């Protein structure tokens, strides 16, 4: 398996532009997570989906951020309009089942991340 | 407040020396505990995890971690560090009930000197 795939790996854009980050989870995984990593705030969860349904979006910073999962193999995170403070590395992770599997805790597998720079 | 604490922001060790990275959590019940490693420019890779049973957990790359309930700790150890272990290490938890997402500590950056 190719693992979690994220695109683009790097994105540089100007303030006010729309940015779309993409994620393809591992086949067979039915939970998907979007995280953001910054120097100031570390790694923080933005939103997670289970069976394509958003379960917890309390980490989404504001209305400029939106995420969708139209099917089991694809998710997007969109920022519109983007601002310089959105500059960060955005990670997507997928997991088989929920966090608590029958034999214990299921692992989240992370993608390589998208480094976003908003000028 | 519920949290995960990694008190050491940056640690430097010599190659071949032993390593211990600290992690403390503050939850009423024992959460599920993880250690992840992030190499420069890379995503996170799971080193090991604990949810019950033997409190000494073996992971990949020669790492181990010990869960100590009395100290609310889950410290990561390696007896002999290799230069390739230089990376950022994150302790993380999934709460014992409720949401499935990981809560991360702030990370410890490990530098290995020859």
Which pLDDT tens digits describe chain A residue by residue (119 residues)?
689 999 999 999 999 999 999 999 999 998 999 999 998 888 999 998 988 999 888 889 889 999 999 999 999 999 999 999 999 999 999 988 765 554 456 788 999 999 999 99
Say how far apart CA B35 and CA A3 lie, in whole Å.
19
Q: Are A91 and A111 in contact (CB under 8 A)?
A: yes
Say how far apart CA B69 and CA B83 lie, in whole Å.
32
| Residue of chain A whose alpha carbon sits nearest to that of B104 | A43
Q: Which residues in chain B are closer than 8 Å to A98, comparing Cβ atoms?
A: 100
Structure tokens of B81?
């560090």
Contact B104 A108 (CB under 8 A): no
Q: Are B50 and B67 in contact (CB under 8 A)?
A: yes
Instruction: Write the CB contacts of B106 (distance below 8 Å, at least 6 apart in sequence).
Output: A42, B5, B6, B9
B110: which strand partners?
A: B11, B87
Q: What pLDDT is recorded for position A102?
A: 47
Q: Which of helix, strand or coil describes residue B85?
A: helix
Say how far apart CA A4 and CA B13 lie, in whole Å.
32
Q: Which residues in chain A are closer than 8 Å to B4, comparing Cβ atoms?
A: none
Say how far apart CA A61 and CA A46 lie, in whole Å.
7
CB neighbourhood size of A75 (10 A): 24
Given phi > 0 = left and psi -120 to 50 = alpha, else beta, which region is B29? beta
Q: Which of helix, strand or coil describes residue B111?
A: strand
For chains A and B, count residue pairs whose Cβ atoms are closer than 8 Å: 59
Residue ranges of chain B whose pLDDT lies below 50: none
Among candidate residues A103, A104, A92, A97, the one with its CA nearest the CA of residue A3: A92
| CB nearest to A98's CB, from B100, B103, B106 | B100
What phi and psi values does residue A4 have, to the nearest 5 degrees?
Answer: -75, 130
Contact B100 A45 (CB under 8 A): no
Contact A111 B43 (CB under 8 A): yes
Say how far apart CA A72 and CA A52 lie, in whole Å.
6
Q: Return the half-sphere exposure (C-beta side, CA atoms, 13 A cut-off) of residue A106.
A: 19
Contact B32 A105 (CB under 8 A): yes
| Residue of chain B whose alpha carbon sits nearest to that of A56 | B99
């Amino acid at each position: 398996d190719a693992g979690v795939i994220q695109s683009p790996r790097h994105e540089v854009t100007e303030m006010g532009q729309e940015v779309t980050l993409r994620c393809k989870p591992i086949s067979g995984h039915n939970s998907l997570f979007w995280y953001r990593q910054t120097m100031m705030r570390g790694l923080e969860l933005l939103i997670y989906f289970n069976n394509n349904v958003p379960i917890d979006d309390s980490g989404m910073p504001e209305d400029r951020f939106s995420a969708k999962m139209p099917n089991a193999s694809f998710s997007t995170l969109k920022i519109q309009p983007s601002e310089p403070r959105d500059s960060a590395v955005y990670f997507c992770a997928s997991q088989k089942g929920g966090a608590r599997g029958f034999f214990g805790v299921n692992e989240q597998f992370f993608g390589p991340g998208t480094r976003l720079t908003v000028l | 407040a519920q949290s995960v604490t990694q008190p050491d922001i940056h640690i430097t060790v010599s190659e071949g020396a032993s390593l211990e990275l600290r992690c403390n959590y503050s939850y009423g019940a024992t959460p599920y505990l993880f250690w992840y490693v992030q190499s420069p420019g890379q995503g996170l890779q799971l080193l090991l995890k604990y949810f019950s049973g033997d409190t000494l957990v073996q992971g990949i790359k020669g790492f181990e971690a010990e869960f100590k309930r009395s100290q609310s700790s889950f410290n990561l150890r390696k007896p002999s560090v290799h230069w390739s272990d230089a990376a950022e290490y994150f302790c993380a938890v999934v709460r014992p009930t409720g949401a499935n997402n990981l809560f991360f500590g702030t990370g410890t950056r490990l530098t290995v000197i020859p």
